[in-house]
């Protein structure tokens, strides 16, 4: 079994080439620009790791991993437009650097290119891979819509929020692992345990992501800290604060959210800390991590083959970027 870092290097070397034609440059250069910004490549590497958990990495796994990374970047380009985000990984977003229309088209063509890569794999695996890929893609869109819907609602329950991030974030991590497992010849039971490992790890990952959006170091995180706070997003941080805050804190929080003062982020973070939101977030994150690791433990392969996935899980929930 190869380490995550080794697989990242391997995948990046394969992914680094140009994925789009030269013309029209006004469409395809922005796509290459966005891919060139980089990223952690977690999702495509999970596909490779899911394959290698059961067998040597098949060439088709690199094609599927590439499709997954292109799909993920398609969602990021469109998310940035919907969130009106100016930075992604410390660089200008596509709609800011170019324009919103080009960003929309660039995301669309990136999705189409993902299907072109999927269409190259062995026909024996094409149907189950396409079925899982399509289901996952649909669920990611559902999660994004729920995220936007929550912005218009005054109250959102924590279980609703967990369901939303399961769709928006977790299913792509879980699906990436399962697609790799399918290519590695895994049985249904092992595939399902690996999917649940990825799903619960994804929830823990998103909890950490929301935490970093509020409490992270912008130099390391690569995005503006407090972006969710500025947009009044119904993150688990806000939901828990509203649940445990006293009457005075709750009223202050609602006033700040409505008034949008210049120091809004600082005021909200102060309330979060007074309510112990940061400590609660770490506890919740570890609960989902433990569920994920239990499913990984139940997979019927040698324990030593699981070591890279355990190491990756630890990195994802302890990261500061």
How far is residue 182's CA from residue 54's CA, in Å, rounded to a whole number? 9
Q: How far apart are the first and last CA of the chain?
A: 26
How far apart (Å, rounded) are the C-alpha atoms in residues 228 and 216? 12
pLDDT score, position 221: 61
Find the domain containing 224 and state its range: 4-318
- Lowest-confidence segment of 196-200, 202-206, 292-296 by average pLDDT: 202-206
* Mean pLDDT across the chain: 94
29-52 tens-digit pLDDT: 999 999 999 888 999 999 999 999
Q: Check if the beta carbon of residue 118 is closer than 8 Å to that of residue 200.
A: no
Distance (Å, whole) CA 204 – CA 201: 5
CA 60/CA 69 separation, integer angstroms: 14
Asked whether the predicted pLDDT for residue 319 surpasses 80, the reply is no
Tens digit of each residue's pLDDT (9 = 90 or more) over 133-182 = 999 999 999 999 998 998 888 889 999 999 999 999 999 999 999 999 99
Query: Using CA atoms, how far apart are residues 99 and 96, in angstroms rounded to an integer?
Result: 6
Contacts of 294 (CB under 8 A, 6+ apart): none
Q: What pLDDT is attached to residue 223?
A: 63
d(CA 248, CA 264): 17
User: In this predicted model, what pLDDT tens digit does every residue of 85-124 receive, in sequence order?
Assistant: 898 988 999 999 999 999 999 999 999 999 999 999 999 9
Phi/psi region, residue 39 (left: phi>0; alpha: psi -120 to 50; beta: rest), is left
Q: Which residue has the higher pLDDT, 310 or 223?
A: 310
Assign residue 39 the CATH number of its domain.
1.10.600.10
Helices 188-215 and 264-274 meet at what angle, rounded to 10?
120
| Nearest alpha-carbon partner for 45 in 312, 318, 317 | 312
Number of domains in the chain: 1
CB 190 within 8 A of CB 301: yes
Q: Which helix (H) or strand (E) holds 31?
A: helix 25-36
Which residues in 220-237 are b (16+ Cβ under 10 Å) and which e?
ebbbebbbbbbebbbbbb
Taking only the tens place, the pLDDT of each residue in 241-276 is 999 999 999 999 999 999 999 999 999 999 999 999
CA distance 138 to 85: 23
Antiparallel, parallel or unpaired: β 91-92 and 87-88:
antiparallel
Share above pLDDT 90 across residues of the chain, in percent, rounded to a whole number: 85
Distant-in-sequence, close-in-space partners of 125: CB < 8 Å, separation ≥ 6:
60, 182, 183
CB 181 within 8 A of CB 193: no
């Amino acid at each position: 079994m190869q380490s995550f870092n080794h697989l990242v290097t391997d995948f990046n070397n394969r992914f680094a080439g140009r994925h789009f034609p030269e013309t029209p440059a006004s469409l395809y250069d922005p796509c290459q620009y966005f891919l060139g910004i980089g990223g952690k490549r977690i999702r495509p590497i999970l596909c490779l790791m899911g394959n290698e958990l059961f067998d040597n990495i098949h060439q088709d796994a690199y094609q599927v991993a590439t499709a997954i990374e292109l799909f993920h970047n398609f969602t990021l380009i469109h998310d940035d437009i919907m969130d009106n985000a100016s930075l992604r990984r410390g660089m200008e977003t596509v709609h800011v650097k170019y324009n919103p229309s080009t960003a929309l088209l660039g995301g669309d063509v990136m999705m189409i290119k993902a299907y072109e890569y999927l269409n190259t794999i062995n026909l024996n695996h094409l149907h189950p891979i396409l079925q899982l890929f399509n289901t996952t893609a649909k669920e990611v869109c559902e999660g994004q819509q729920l995220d936007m819907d929550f912005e218009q609602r005054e109250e959102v329950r924590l279980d609703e929020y967990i369901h939303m991030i399961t769709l928006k974030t977790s299913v792509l991590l879980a699906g990436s692992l399962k697609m790799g497992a399918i290519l590695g010849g895994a049985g249904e039971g092992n595939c399902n345990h690996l999917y649940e490992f990825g799903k619960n790890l994804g929830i823990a990952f998103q909890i950490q992501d929301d935490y970093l959006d509020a409490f992270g170091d912008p130099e390391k995180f690569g995005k503006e800290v407090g972006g969710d706070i500025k947009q009044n997003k119904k993150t688990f941080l806000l939901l828990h604060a509203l649940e445990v805050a006293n009457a005075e804190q709750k009223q202050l929080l609602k006033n700040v959210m409505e008034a949008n003062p210049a120091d809004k982020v600082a005021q909200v973070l102060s309330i979060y800390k007074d309510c112990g939101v940061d400590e609660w977030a770490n506890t919740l994150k570890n609960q989902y991590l433990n569920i994920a690791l239990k499913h990984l433990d139940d997979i019927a392969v040698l324990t030593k083959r699981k070591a890279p996935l355990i190491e990756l899980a630890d990195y994802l929930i302890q990261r500061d970027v």
